[in-house]
Amino acid sequence: MCVFCKIAKKEIPTEFLYEDDLTVAFRDIHPIAPVHVLVIPKKHIESVANITEVDERLMGRLILTAKKIADDLKISKEGYKLLIRVGEYGGQEVPHIHLHLIGGARLSEDIKPI
Ligand code: AMP
């Protein structure tokens, strides 16, 4: 089982900022900004490259969950970044879809070729 499945199933104790029937959210272990939260589907899907039409509602829920958390953490007015890395060139390290919610400070543009 992958590390994010273990977190979702509470096999690795992790404080959830949010949980519903489809998603859970928790703080990134290596934050790159004052707010750095990961929103993941409870269902194991390796990457966006693996989603199908069946996952349309789930992928929408990930964004709605991130928006709710941004509102709760009061970073919506100033703005934030949502990021999903896909595969090797996208820099994805954990093979379970996760949406990064990054904010709480003005963010630099960091999407550039190596
Ligand atoms: P990515 O590079 O998009 O695959 O992002 C993976 C993210 O997961 C990184 O920002 C890691 O810091 C984070 N991460 C890995 N393991 C954990 C964990 N056990 N709890 C919280 N965040 C984690």
Q: Looking at the domain assignment, is residue 25 inside a domain? A: yes
Identify the domain containing residue 79 by its residue range: 3-103
Q: What is the pLDDT of residues 2-59, one digit of tens each?
A: 999 999 999 999 999 999 999 999 999 999 999 999 999 999 999 999 999 999 999 9
**The domain spanning residue 26 has which CATH number?**
3.30.428.10
Count up the domains in the chain and report the number. 1
Q: Looking at the domain assignment, is residue 111 inside a domain? A: no
Q: Is 96 part of the annotated catalytic residue set?
A: no
Q: Looking at the domain assignment, is residue 112 inside a domain? A: no
Nearest to 98 by CA among 3, 32, 1, 12: 3
Q: Who's near 23: CB < 8 A, 6+ residues apart?
A: 39, 40, 41, 42, 58, 61, 62, 65
Ligand 1 atom 16: residue of nearest CA: 29
Choose the catalytic residue: 36, 44, 96, 98.
Answer: 98
Q: Looking at the domain assignment, is residue 56 inside a domain? A: yes
pTM exceeds 0.75, yes or no: yes
Which ligand 1 atom sits closest to the C-alpha of 84? 3
